[in-house]
């Protein structure tokens, strides 16, 4: 491990690292479908929704469209999927409710107790591509005790652009070396490390369900490698 004594803030990737988006969405969609009499392969629907995530942000990252928050990108992707799956007749209110399932994702079992331990020693915040409203309501729903909600929207840059990491540190008045990114994704950690951040890999081997093929383990010697936020708290000496 590098010199972690200078770290003042821990910032977290959220989707997959803090919350189990896949299980949460499948369960909500199954319940919604049962209630409305709509049958579909909701696991496939959920995986398809997530598969549209990177391409939708890439339009913004590449400068082909102006800054657009993730709630809007999610909604556009949802419209495509409703067409693909032949689901019609939903009201605007119903579609808005479905889209906001991303505001209601459930944390992994260790997330909330681990964050409380880490919060006692560090400033803890998000560094997510989710927009501020999405992350704030998710935290309210799930009891995630963030000190501050940061990420793509205040930085006006989607990860893994360097600005997402650099501006987040600057907003807190810190140097990158005083920041640690916590993520379940090797590519996110690589991008943060390239900007000077310390790094913690938390393995989430079921994020993508039973057929997950990537991020099953750390691909580099990150400053911390663990499989839960409790392990991270141990590694950082947070009782």
User: What is the contact surface with its own copies in residues (CB under 8 A)?
Assistant: 71, 123, 125, 131-133, 136-137, 139-140, 147-150, 153-154, 171-173
- Least distance to its own copies, CB of residue 220, Å: 30
- Tell me if residue 175 falls in helix, strand or coil: coil
197 Cβ partners below 8 Å, 6+ apart? 165, 169, 176, 177, 179, 180, 181
Minimum Å distance from CB 71 to its own copies?
7
Choose between 149 and 164: whose C-beta lies nearer to its own copies.
Answer: 149
Contact at 8 Å (CB) between 199 and 181?
Answer: yes
- Taking the C-alpha atoms of residue 234 and residue 6, their distance in angstroms, rounded to an integer, is 17
Helix (H) / strand (E) element for 77: namely helix 70-84
Task: Using the minimum distance from each CB to its own copies, give the nearer residue, 103 or 185.
Answer: 103
Residue closer to its own copies, measured from CB, 71 or 223: 71
Residue 140's φ and ψ, nearest 5 degrees, are -65, -40
Q: How far is the CB of 25 from its own copies (least distance, A)?
A: 19
Toward its own copies, which CB reaches closer, 65 or 140?
Answer: 140
Nearest distance in Å: CB 145, its own copies: 8
Residue 102 or 229 having the CB closest to its own copies: 102
Minimum Å gap between C-beta 148 and its own copies is 4
Question: How many Å separate Cα 170 from the centre of its chain?
Answer: 21
Buried b (16+ CB within 10 A) or exposed e, 18-44: bbbbbbbbbebbbebeeeeebebebbe
């Amino acid at each position: 491990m590098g010199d972690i004594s200078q770290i003042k803030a821990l910032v977290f990737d959220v989707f997959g690292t803090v919350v189990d988006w896949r299980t949460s969405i499948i369960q909500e969609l199954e319940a919604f479908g049962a209630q409305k009499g709509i049958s579909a392969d909701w696991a496939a629907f959920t995986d398809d929704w997530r598969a549209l995530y990177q391409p939708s942000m890439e339009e913004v990252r590449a400068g082909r469209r102006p800054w657009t928050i993730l709630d809007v990108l999610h909604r556009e992707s949802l419209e495509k999927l409703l067409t693909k799956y032949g689901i019609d007749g939903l009201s605007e209110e119903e579609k808005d409710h479905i889209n906001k399932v991303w505001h209601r994702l459930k944390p992994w079992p260790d997330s909330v107790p681990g964050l409380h331990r880490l919060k006692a020693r560090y400033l803890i915040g998000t560094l997510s591509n989710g927009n501020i409203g999405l992350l704030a309501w998710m935290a309210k729903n799930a009891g995630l005790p963030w000190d501050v909600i940061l990420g793509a929207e205040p930085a006006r840059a989607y990860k893994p652009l360097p600005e997402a990491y650099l501006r987040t540190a600057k907003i807190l008045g810190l140097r990158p070396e005083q920041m640690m990114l916590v993520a379940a994704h090797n590519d996110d950690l690589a991008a943060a490390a390239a900007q000077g951040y310390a790094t913690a890999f938390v393995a989430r081997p079921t994020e993508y369900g039973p057929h997950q093929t990537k991020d099953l383990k750390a691909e580099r010697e990150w400053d911390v490698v663990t499989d839960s936020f409790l392990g991270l708290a141990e590694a950082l000496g947070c009782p």
